[in-house]
Amino acid sequence: MPELPEVEILKRSLKKKIKFCKVAKIKIHNANLRYKVPQLINQNLKNHTVLNVSRISKYLIIDFNFSKKLLIHLGMTGTVHLVKKNNKKYTNASFYHSSSLPKKHNHIEIYFKNNIKMIYNDPRRFGYFKLFEKKYLLNNLIKNLGPDPFSSKFNYNYIKKFIQNKKIKIKILLMNQKFLGGLGNIYANEILYNCKLKPTKSVNLLTKKNIQNLIYQSRNTLKKAIKFGGSSIRDFKKTDGTSGNYQHNFNVYGKNNTNCPRYSCTGSIKKILISKRSSFYCPKCQT
């Protein structure tokens, strides 16, 4: 499932390539995504210019020059690809999945007037496109989301207040989108490993230092993934078609029964289920 770093990289790629570009036409091959793609999307966006591309949590937002906003959510398997007219791949904004594009899953194609085509590919079709006429409608959708990990609102006082009188497991806290917007299973596991905190630890036992470290490691872990993902996308341009390999950089996610990668730790990674989600941790150095 695409997580925050993937959406952030997608945002940056799109900003570079389609900001100030005019839409020539939009082709919908399959409107049956999680929500039906608006019929009028072509009519509404044709001949309008992209003013900005931004990200809120895992939502990608494309602003147009007439106050309409297009929201894209990648669901479980959505990927966005930019292709130049001569079929030169600009980017495969997916660094976890194969970059091959089975054509039958190319559901939406946006053609820009500078000969760039943006393809939305989604085998499981859990992603969606929504068009917002007014800003407050978009704000309504995201009002229940917690702060972005990089936002200054994600700070010690905020966390302290949020966890007051709660006795939930820290992994559940991190995955709660009302607490923190955009974090998924992969990075919740990786962040807790980097904090040396076991995923089942109750939040009422967190010290001030634990909380400060949690903020630092949340940003640091995501920043590294964004940086590495960005460079793996640059590699796609060179090699054109090899799959993303960021998963090789995970410390614990998907690594059950392997040695703990922490220097001087002799533990091995264990897999447990927390709220039906796989959780990976080292019982020796995560306490």
- What is the identity of the amino acid at 218? S
What whole-number distance in Å separates Cα of residue 58 and Cα of residue 5? 9
Closest approach of Zn ion to the CB of residue 188, in Å = 17
State the catalytic residues. 2-3, 58, 277
Number of residues that bind Zn ion (CB under 5 A): 7
Closest approach of Zn ion to the CB of residue 285, in Å = 3
Question: For residue 147, what are the contacts with CB-CB under 8 A and spacing of at least 6?
Answer: 153, 154, 158, 180, 181
Whether 198 contacts 210, CB under 8 Å: no
- 252 touches Zn ion (CB under 5 A): no
Comparison of 106 and 268: residue with beta carbon closer to Zn ion: 268
Strands (E), the chain: 23-28, 50-56, 59-64, 69-73, 79-84, 89-92, 106-112, 116-121, 128-132, 270-274, 277-281
Q: Which stretch binds Zn ion (CB under 5 A): 59-67, 96-104, 225-233, 257-265?
A: 257-265
Question: For residue 69, what are the contacts with CB-CB under 8 A and spacing of at least 6?
Answer: 61, 62, 63, 131, 132, 135, 138
Closest approach of Zn ion to the CB of residue 269, in Å = 8
Closest CA to 273 of 147, 185, 179: 185
Comparison of 131 and 285: residue with beta carbon closer to Zn ion: 285
Cα–Cα distances (Å) from 23 to 50, 78, 130, 157, in that order, read: 8, 21, 16, 44
- 284 touches Zn ion (CB under 5 A): yes
Strands 89-92 and 106-112, how do they pair? Answer: unpaired
Residues within window 260-279 making contact with Zn ion, judged by CB under 5 A:
260, 262, 265, 267
Closest approach of Zn ion to the CB of residue 281, in Å = 8
Comparison of 262 and 277: residue with beta carbon closer to Zn ion: 262
- 230 touches Zn ion (CB under 5 A): no
Closest approach of Zn ion to the CB of residue 245, in Å = 23
Comparison of 241 and 261: residue with beta carbon closer to Zn ion: 261
Comparison of 65 and 258: residue with beta carbon closer to Zn ion: 258
- 196 touches Zn ion (CB under 5 A): no
- 256 touches Zn ion (CB under 5 A): no
Comparison of 100 and 266: residue with beta carbon closer to Zn ion: 266
Closest CA to 169 of 189, 150, 149, 194: 189
Closest approach of Zn ion to the CB of residue 259, in Å = 8
User: Which residues of this protein are in contact with Zn ion, per CB under 5 A?
Assistant: 260, 262, 265, 267, 282, 284-285
